[in-house]
Amino acid sequence: MARGQLRIYLGAAPGVGKTYAMLAEAQRRRARGTDIVVGLLETHGRKLTAAMAEGLEIVPRQSMMHRGATFTEMDLDAVLARHPEVALVDELAHTNVPGCRNPKRWQDVDELLDAGIDVITTLNIQHLESLNDVARQVTGVEQQEKLPDEVARRADQIELVDMTPEALRRRMVHGNVYPPNRIDAALTHYFRPGNLTALRELALLWLADRVEEGLQRYRAEHGIATPWETRERIVVAVAGTDDDQNVIRRAARIAARTPGSDLLAVHVVSDDGLAAGHDAALATERALVTSLGGSFCLLPGTDVADALLSFARAENATQMVLGASRRSRFSTLIAGKSIPTRLARQAEHIDVHLVSRRGMADRGHWFAHVLTAFRSRRAQAVRDSAEAAALTRLAGCVLRGHSDLPTLLEEMRQISGLAAVSLLEWRPNGSSRSCYVVASAGEQPPEGPGADVELPVSDTFTLAGRGPVPSREGSWVLFSCAAQVVAGLSYRRQEDQHAQAARDAANLRSRAALLAATGETAREQLATAQVALAALAAEQGHGPAGPDAALLAAARHAVDQVSRLVDDLSDLSRLHAGAVETYLRPVDLDEVIAACLDDLGPGSQHITLSTAEDLPDVITDATLLTRTLTSLLADALQRSPAGQPPVVTALSRGSRVEICISDQGPDQPDGAASLAFRLARDLTEALGDTLRIQHLPGGGRSVVVTLPAAAGTLVPVPGDTATCPRLPSSGQTKT
């Protein structure tokens, strides 16, 4: 049985759309008739991702107990027994719960591949073993789940799911990646623009290397020796003598003119020509090549020219740089062609650059270069030492229990020699931002922008100081300390938020349980009252209508109203407890509105309805949307004065559909919203849609529900329709 093929969707960070792309590919294959199942899917609560999985067969997960908690993992045996053509397995680097057959998910995938099942999976670049330490240095986050690079290298296809840092941060702000309570912390920590840019570069470079490996393998399998100039590779030949450094620097300048090019220095170990080198000189040249971003290798060979050409062709080199021969014309004439001449004649598609050797004249330049490098490294060492000492003092304060901000800022003030320091925080204030002092130390600390020293620590925090401006090294040390303080502050705030969220959740569960118990008791009593009133109505129906008939009708109406109130309270309880499940699919809005009017009964006859004939379908849960609109319509009917009924309009705005429910009832403060309106608002949020209120000129309001239109049914709206239509001056019947 042939081994299955592995396809990986690679991303630089969470939220770029790897799982969505995997599901989109699955839907395309399913449409073509491929037998495909979902072995394991992680939507992380993202509704668009969940919607993309609709219609795909999902193999149920297996439940595992670990340390008293229940976890779910992919049921490997069930997928093997089902044996589809293709299986989707999300998050390749995941660590399985103890007790599973394999400790790692990629080992589960290996079993599927060995069984002849093709697998499509996802992976983030920071989970690769070779890049884990780099990702930790960039983001400050240690990744516990790691994937051996060899597993990813064996993939038959690797597709990069790319997104700019700005676009990904916008997705974060819109709530498409994390829930609202995690957005601010993510944007100011892991998802900073610099972090995302660095991770994106890592992903692009790693994938470029894998593409290069595939290209080299293809050229070897097809016997292609001619270089393909897909990427500039400059090979510099060194002889192991003092004057080679000029040649190396010249090659480095050529490589620097083409971003992304490679510099490869090679020395042929032989007894002829370029091979006559010394260990000390080679060690110096190796260090120089490494400092210039290149690589150095020793190449055995009896013929220097042939060895260099073989190496250049194997590396798909595009250019070669070497020093001019020291031999005179007479010596060359006697001994035959020089190595540079032979290379120039035999290189064919490889450009050969010949650099003159300046000998002793370059030694002064070389010494000055080394001296400059030495001074630069010494200065860097001094900066590193000062920074380490400052951070050690700061860490000592924390270990001694002085973790409050004023104490830490006082330590930073003493380290920097400033008279006073303040940690400023920028917070949203309407359409702008305002500056607040989080903590300060010293006399007369800065209270806003315009201080002697201002160090932006992040998008939100700035360290301001009063006093002499520190040196460049001192500023860097101060910035490093401030970054640690801000990181600690953000972490403590996040911990406080989690603790408050846990307390709120516990209170919410208590209130929900109490409300559920109360609602059950109220339903029983209301059911008894409805049965009694129905019996009285039946008994009175046999006699002449009297004054008691009106009282009986009023009583039945009141009981029905209270029953609906109890149902609304029950729905609110279930919503707040997270017990309401949604099923998103394309829905005909006309059918939903018709169902709402039926639920309202005779009262719906006083509603004016106007919907566009070419209204597109919307993506929503039909049941929840019907309940939402019914609550809003009932509320509008109750608010509307006599002779001025509510107006319902529905129109398309590109990729969205807006439903406006307008009435001329009295304005209410935000805290006085009716229970029906609050239920509708919570139901709308459960659907992931938006609900807003527009106050109409001359009084009254419009409640606007905005829904996403289904793909392929978008209808453009000409002209400007930025507001809901105004209410009619007199009552109309529904149309």
Reported as a single tens digit per residue, the pLDDT across 644-663 is: 889 999 988 888 899 999 98
User: What local confidence, expressed as pLDDT, does residue 16 receive?
Assistant: 92
The mean pLDDT value for 628-632 works out to 84
Question: Within 13 Å of residue 257, how many CA atoms lie on the same side as its CB?
Answer: 7
Cβ-contact 192, 459 below 8 angstroms: yes
Q: Give burial (CB, 10 Å; 0-12/13-18/19+) of 362.
A: middle
Tell me which of 28-42, 399-413, 707-721 is least confident: 707-721
Percent of the chain with pLDDT over 90: 20
Alpha carbons 305 and 341: distance in angstroms, whole number: 9
User: What local confidence, expressed as pLDDT, does residue 411 receive?
Assistant: 81
More confident residue, 714 or 555: 555
The mean pLDDT value for 476-480 works out to 80
Strand partners, 352: 320
State the DSSP code for 5: P
More confident residue, 420 or 221: 420
3-state secondary structure of 603: helix
User: What local confidence, expressed as pLDDT, does residue 270 receive?
Assistant: 57
> For 442-464, how does the pLDDT look when each residue is reduced to its tens digit (9 = 90+)?
999 999 888 889 988 888 899 99
Alpha carbons 368 and 372: distance in angstroms, whole number: 6
> For 574-586, how does the pLDDT look when each residue is reduced to its tens digit (9 = 90+)?
665 555 666 788 9
Give the CA distances from residue 434 to residues 364, 424, 429, 454, 485, in Å, rounded to whole numbers and listed in that order: 57, 10, 6, 16, 21
More confident residue, 404 or 543: 404
User: What local confidence, expressed as pLDDT, does residue 509 receive?
Assistant: 67
pLDDT higher than threshold 70 for residue 506? yes
- Chain position carrying tokens 């010949």: 354
Secondary-structure breakdown of the chain: helix, strand, coil percentages, each rounded to the nearest 5: 50, 20, 30
> For 72-97, how does the pLDDT look when each residue is reduced to its tens digit (9 = 90+)?
999 999 999 999 999 999 999 999 99
- Chain position carrying tokens 């149309």: 735
- As a whole number, the mean pLDDT across the chain is 79
More confident residue, 309 or 520: 309
Q: Give burial (CB, 10 Å; 0-12/13-18/19+) of 279.
A: exposed
The one-letter amino acid at 378: R
Closest CA to 13 of 154, 178, 149: 178
Cβ-contact 597, 734 below 8 angstroms: yes
Cross-sheet strand order for the sheet of 656-663: 608-611, 647-653, 656-663, 701-708, 690-695
Bin 418: left if φ > 0, else alpha if -120 < ψ < 50, else beta.
beta
Percent of the chain with pLDDT over 70: 76
Closest CA to 77 of 100, 96, 93, 97: 100
> For 364-392, how does the pLDDT look when each residue is reduced to its tens digit (9 = 90+)?
444 455 555 755 555 555 555 555 555 56
CB-based contacts of 70, cutoff 8 Å, min separation 6:
63, 64
Cβ count near 480 (within 10 Å):
18
pLDDT higher than threshold 50 for residue 721? no
**Per-residue b or e along 288-303, where b marks 16 or more CB atoms closer than 10 Å to that residue's CB:** bbeebebebeebebeb
Strand partners, 453: 465
Which element (helix H / strand E) includes 438? strand 432-442
User: What local confidence, expressed as pLDDT, does residue 482 receive?
Assistant: 85
More confident residue, 165 or 527: 165
Give me the helices (H) in 417-462, please: none
Measured torsion, CA atoms of residues 630, 632, 635, 641, in degrees rounded to the nearest 10 = -110
Measured torsion, CA atoms of residues 441, 446, 449, 451, in degrees rounded to the nearest 10 = -100
> For 234-291, how does the pLDDT look when each residue is reduced to its tens digit (9 = 90+)?
899 888 777 788 888 888 888 877 766 788 888 887 554 444 446 778 888 888 888 8
pLDDT higher than threshold 70 for residue 722? no
The mean pLDDT value for 27-31 works out to 94
Alpha carbons 687 and 580: distance in angstroms, whole number: 10
CB-based contacts of 119, cutoff 8 Å, min separation 6:
4, 5, 6, 7, 39, 86, 87, 88, 89, 109, 112, 113
Residue 319's pLDDT band (boundaries 50, 70, 90)?
Answer: confident
pLDDT higher than threshold 70 for residue 529? yes
Residue 294's pLDDT band (boundaries 50, 70, 90)?
Answer: confident
Which element (helix H / strand E) includes 235? strand 233-237
User: What local confidence, expressed as pLDDT, does residue 729 receive?
Assistant: 36
The two three-digit tokens of residue 636, written as one number: 């509008």
- Chain position carrying tokens 């149920």: 60
Alpha carbons 628 and 451: distance in angstroms, whole number: 53
Tell me which of 26-30, 216-220, 388-392, 627-631 is least confident: 388-392
The mean pLDDT value for 139-168 works out to 89
More confident residue, 178 or 7: 7
- Chain position carrying tokens 């004649």: 345
User: What local confidence, expressed as pLDDT, does residue 717 receive?
Assistant: 44
> For 101-115, how does the pLDDT look when each residue is reduced to its tens digit (9 = 90+)?
999 999 999 999 999
Cβ-contact 660, 724 below 8 angstroms: yes
**Residue 95 backbone dihedrals phi, psi, to 5 degrees:** -95, 125
Residue 363's pLDDT band (boundaries 50, 70, 90)?
Answer: very low
The mean pLDDT value for 21-25 works out to 95
CB-based contacts of 667, cutoff 8 Å, min separation 6:
695, 699, 701
Cβ-contact 12, 199 below 8 angstroms: yes
User: What local confidence, expressed as pLDDT, does residue 85 receive?
Assistant: 96
User: What local confidence, expressed as pLDDT, does residue 314 receive?
Assistant: 76
Cβ-contact 347, 309 below 8 angstroms: yes
CB-based contacts of 518, cutoff 8 Å, min separation 6:
none
> For 540-553, how does the pLDDT look when each residue is reduced to its tens digit (9 = 90+)?
665 555 667 777 77
The one-letter amino acid at 258: T
pLDDT higher than threshold 80 for residue 425? yes
The mean pLDDT value for 158-179 works out to 89
Cβ-contact 680, 628 below 8 angstroms: yes
Alpha carbons 621 and 35: distance in angstroms, whole number: 28
pLDDT higher than threshold 70 for residue 424? yes
pLDDT higher than threshold 60 for residue 332? no
